[in-house]
């Protein structure tokens, strides 16, 4: 069966409209676009859906419905559909420990700017609040981030324990615009006795008390639970 020029156009319009609708409904747009450009998704979903409907209705008896695709046009159609397939295939992929090690080696978050991305009073303590409290004592005091405070962190293992029962690093990727500019922020976890040695990229929920060692905070874990990767694995500044 040979596609007509009209059918190829409709497939492209419907595919891209469906992709934008999926990004819009699921909230996955944060993986690909920042807050300033996220409006493109709902606009694209509606505009392309309207274009597909109008073109489908008006071209039914037109010359496009009878003209077969040339080899070049077929290749162009495939090229326009390729990004849609890539996004769908990679939809549930998340950056892990390998990406974190490379990003930590090449860049990090500027300590002097940490307070600028946080409110003065934190509703809960996450990796970002802990890192900020390490660099800014006033922020730590204002938010009662100190040794003994009970916290709960959800993240993946960036650096597993060297030996059974040894500390490991748990972290999360934070994004300011999209996944491409994400920054890993992690915290040391001191595991309870008898905890298995978890491998890299294992997602965990850790509850315990903060411990201060010099400038840095760690968590003395009372409970560690293995979980599935969250639907939205990235946090935002």
pLDDT at 183: 84
- CATH architecture under which domain 97-236 falls: Beta Barrel (2.40)
**All residues at 6 or more sequence positions from 184 whose CB lies less than 8 Å from its CB, including other chains:** 95, 99, 100, 103, 104, 158, 171, 172, 173, 174
Q: Is the pLDDT assigned to residue 14 strictly greater than 60?
A: yes
Give 56's Cβ-side CA count (13 Å radius).
Answer: 13
pLDDT tens digit sequence for 99-112: 445 444 444 455 44
CA-CA distance, 168 to 86, in Å (whole number)?
Answer: 34
pLDDT at 174: 85
- Angle 208-213-214 from CA coordinates, rounded to 5°: 145
Cβ atoms of 139 and 115 within 8 Å: the answer is yes
pLDDT at 179: 67
pLDDT tens digit sequence for 192-214: 988 889 999 999 999 999 999 88
CA-CA distance, 12 to 143, in Å (whole number)?
Answer: 52
pLDDT tens digit sequence for 115-154: 555 555 556 789 989 998 998 888 899 889 999 999 999 9
Where, residue-wise, is CATH 2.40.50.140 in the chain?
97-236
- pTM > 0.75: no
């Amino acid at each position: 069966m040979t596609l007509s020029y009209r059918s190829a156009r409709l497939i492209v319009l419907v595919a891209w409209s469906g992709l934008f609708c999926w990004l819009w409904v699921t909230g996955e747009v944060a993986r690909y676009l920042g807050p300033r450009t996220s409006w493109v998704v709902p606009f694209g979903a509606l505009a392309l859906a309207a274009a597909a409907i109008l073109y489908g209705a008006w071209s039914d008896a037109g010359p496009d419905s009878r003209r077969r695709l040339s080899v070049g046009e077929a290749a162009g159609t495939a090229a326009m559909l390729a990004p849609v397939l890539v996004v769908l295939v990679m939809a549930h992929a998340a950056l892990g420990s390998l990406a974190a090690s490379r990003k930590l080696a090449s860049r990090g978050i500027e300590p002097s700017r940490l307070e600028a991305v946080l409110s003065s009073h934190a509703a809960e303590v996450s990796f970002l609040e802990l890192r900020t409290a390490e660099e800014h004592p006033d922020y730590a005091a204002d938010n009662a981030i100190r040794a003994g405070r009970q916290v709960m962190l959800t993240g993946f293992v960036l650096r597993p324990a060297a030996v059974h029962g040894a500390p490991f690093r748990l972290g999360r990727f934070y994004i300011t615009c999209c996944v491409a500019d994400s920054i890993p922020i992690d915290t040391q976890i001191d595991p309870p006795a008898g905890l298995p040695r978890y491998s890299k990229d294992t997602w965990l929920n850790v509850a315990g008390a903060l411990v201060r060692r010099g400038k840095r905070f760690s968590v003395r874990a009372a409970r560690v639970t293995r979980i599935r990767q969250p639907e939205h694995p990235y946090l935002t500044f």
